[in-house]
Amino acid sequence: MRPLNVLALNSGSSSLKFGMYRVDLSGAEKLLGESIALAEHPDAMAQIAGVLAASGLPPPDAIGHRIVHGGPVLRQHCRIDDAVLRQLQAAVAFAPLHAPAALALIRFAQAQFPGIPQAACFDTTFHAELPEVARVLPIAKGLQAEGIRRYGFHGLSLESIVQQLGNGLPVRLVIAHLGNGASITAVKGGKSIDTSMGLTPTGGVIMGTRSGDLDPGLLVYLMREKRFDAARIEALVDHESGLRGISGLDSDMRELHKAAPSDPDARLAIEMFCQSVRKQIAAMIAVLDGLDLLVFTGGIGENDAVVRASICAGLSWIGVNLDDSRNWLASNPINNATSRCSVQVLISKEDEQIARHAWTLVA
């Protein structure tokens, strides 16, 4: 399999990260990486092409895209063709916050780099073999047959953690991917066996602007008493809730820390986030029947020592104990000598995983 220059495109709900990697059997070497806003804007790919040209790098041999949700049909990473594009369009309803931007980006990339093979890399693939007890939602069987089930997300990030651990991968691992989107996953022997997100990336723990799990009766109440329609419900749970909704201030944890000394709502938002994550970690420990390693990753997980300490302070019953100085420096392992399990901070390398998968599919 020959080495290739692979352009990895990681489109989120409001921004676009991209990186150029030289990929071969020995691994992926990062040649360039940047982030821009407005992934759905037609100029996004032109900006990327301009950055590549200015850097002296040649056009890519292949392009890989992060796709949050492929729906019930697209469960494995694949090369993009017309049939795949039709399936991606059909799956937009599962991830309306992310899918339109990803589809637009694929089309812009096809126009900017005609003839270059492209690959779809799914955040749901890591969870494709979830056991039934975690996969099946407690709803009518007829709806289950339509693909309404737990899918799980952040799979590319989780893959990158497993990849980094290598031979040090333990049997019982919990990964806390904490960022604007957040999820907790139980990994046993390298396989996802349960995860906090469900049918869509809105479920699970409290997030930046997403509610996480809610009493379904609340949504029925809002529809019945407040006359909320689907669009209004979607705006509420995806854009107006989470840290932003609780604080009434901001979805950015850094801004909430600044405000917390004088703002009780900002403090409450931080406390609720930490408790939400702590409860899910405890649930995943129960699923795994114990814990060998807890990994923090994502923007908050990697950079916020205060949040890590708060989460772990409530896990001392299971033997999770941090070393304050190592936690503050994110110097692995961040647990102290009395801890019954290891705790580490690892950088999420989604883009590198995208490049690896694209190379495998194309080379």
Residues 237-281 pLDDT 10s = 999 999 999 999 999 999 999 999 999 999 999 999 999 999 999
Structure tokens that stand for 137 in this block: 């939602």
Q: How do the pLDDT tens digits run along the chain, 363 residues long?
A: 789 999 999 987 667 899 999 999 999 999 999 988 765 567 788 889 899 999 999 899 999 999 999 999 999 999 999 999 999 999 998 888 888 888 989 999 999 999 999 999 999 999 999 999 999 999 999 999 999 999 999 999 999 999 999 999 999 999 999 999 999 999 999 999 999 999 999 999 999 999 999 999 999 999 999 999 999 999 999 999 999 999 999 999 999 999 999 999 999 999 999 999 999 999 999 999 999 999 999 999 999 999 999 999 999 999 999 999 999 999 999 999 999 999 999 999 999 999 999 999 998
Among residues 34, 35, 42, the alpha carbon closest in space to that of 12 is found at 35
Can you list the domains of the chain with their CATH numbers?
Answer: 4-122 (3.30.420.40), 155-345 (3.30.420.40)
Is 0.85 surpassed by the pTM of this model? yes
Number of Cβ atoms within 10 Å of the Cβ of 64? 33
Active site residue 123: yes
CB 351, CB 33: distance < 8 Å: yes
Size of the chain, expressed as the number of residues it contains? 363
DSSP state of 92: G
DSSP E strands in the chain: the ranges are 4-11, 15-24, 27-37, 62-67, 78-79, 118-122, 172-178, 182-188, 191-195, 293-297, 342-345
Q: Choose, from 61, 123, 194, 238, the residue flagged as catalytic.
A: 123
